[in-house]
Amino acid sequence: MWWLILGIAIGVIGWWLVAWTRAKKIAVKWYEWLLAVIALGFALLALQNYYAFLREMEPYSAGVMLALLGVPALIFAVIAVGLVWWENTKVAKTPAKNS
């Protein structure tokens, strides 16, 4: 049940994110979306393993798994957001030619 709710939430947030970036005219390259999807994949894996290890009554292993999968999730997310931010601010700062 929780996974269904999470799936719906991810779908809604993803749809909103695409709409928001378009409305704000934020350019997002395909590889930035890919990085975001990889980050999401790691985050979901971290979440599943963390809670499953807790259910298995192994809190120490749960923590290890959260670190092992959560850190890559964070790294990918930071790279994705950072790239989008950097490219868009770079575009904004570059003086328009022939205007």
Non-local (6+) Cβ contacts of 4 within 8 A are: none
Non-local (6+) Cβ contacts of 81 within 8 A are: none
Backbone angles phi, psi at 44, to 5 degrees: -65, -40
Q: What is the crossing angle of helices 59-93 and 30-55, to 10°?
A: 160
52 binds other proteins (CB under 8 A): yes
72 binds other proteins (CB under 8 A): no
Taking the least distance from each CB to other proteins, the nearer of 46 and 80 is 46
Taking the least distance from each CB to other proteins, the nearer of 39 and 49 is 49
57 binds other proteins (CB under 8 A): yes
Q: Smallest distance from the beta carbon of 43 to other proteins, in angstroms?
A: 13
3 binds other proteins (CB under 8 A): no
Q: Smallest distance from the beta carbon of 57 to other proteins, in angstroms?
A: 6
